[in-house]
Amino acid sequence: MTSNKVMASTTHSPDPAGRPYGGIGPAARQAQRQQSFLDAGLAVFGTSGYRTATVRQLCREAGLTDRYFYESFASTEDLLLAVYQRAFNALEDAVMGAILQAGSGDPDGLMAGLRAGLEATYAMAADPRVARVCWLEVLGVSPRVDQVYQGNFERYGKLITAIALQLAPHWKPSATEARVLGVGLAGAVSLNVTQWLLGGYGDSQSDMVNATLPLFTAVMRQLAIPPESSSPR
């Protein structure tokens, strides 16, 4: 989706092309402007929503002109993808960092890592702008956005599957089994986050973690049972 509305007036005068300004070179200034639009996109898409957003509105939020918008983004959809990817990358980094800090090769450490990963996820989702962009606004926008969303969803699922494989070394899933398990557990978190957001964050963050963890624990414990122990006698 693109907007056909652009700003007719300017809020900042263009800097002379190629000249350092305030000790900052052109490339650094462009990066700053891009960052301003990413922040503006999070503010606008995460509150009033993507589908009603216009370039004019985004420029007003960023304090820049449409010239600078199109310097970095071809459309509002491109900005949405950039905002979403930035938020997802931050989520992935936070989850991985929490798992690595809390987890270890032993089962207790890995289970602690699962809790830490869930805590990191819900901590990110506690920002309603992030939750709305990552779990609502990107849905059904276009096939291109759907593809990015699906890929990120599977990346989150692979984090879960990686822990499962360490907890259950005898578990030898097919590629499909591993993917479906990871996506299924990631989907449980995703649905919980969505309902948490839409419900106005009526439950505490710790309650969300405590209520979600048993699902992961039950699955991991089941996978950890050796096949001979789980077969009927």
Q: Give per-residue pLDDT as tens, 77-96.
A: 999 999 999 999 999 999 98
Beta bridge partners of 146: none
Intervals of CATH 1.10.357.10 along the chain: 77-225
pTM: 0.83
Average pLDDT over residues 17-44: 83
Closest CA to 58 of 6, 9, 127: 6
Asked if 40 contacts 61 with a C-beta cutoff of 8 angstroms, the reply is yes
- Token readout for 76 is 């509002």
Please tell me the least confidently modeled range out of 2-16, 62-76, 194-208: 2-16
The fold adopted by the segment(s) 77-225 is: Tetracycline Repressor; domain 2 (1.10.357)
**127 pLDDT above the threshold of 90:** yes
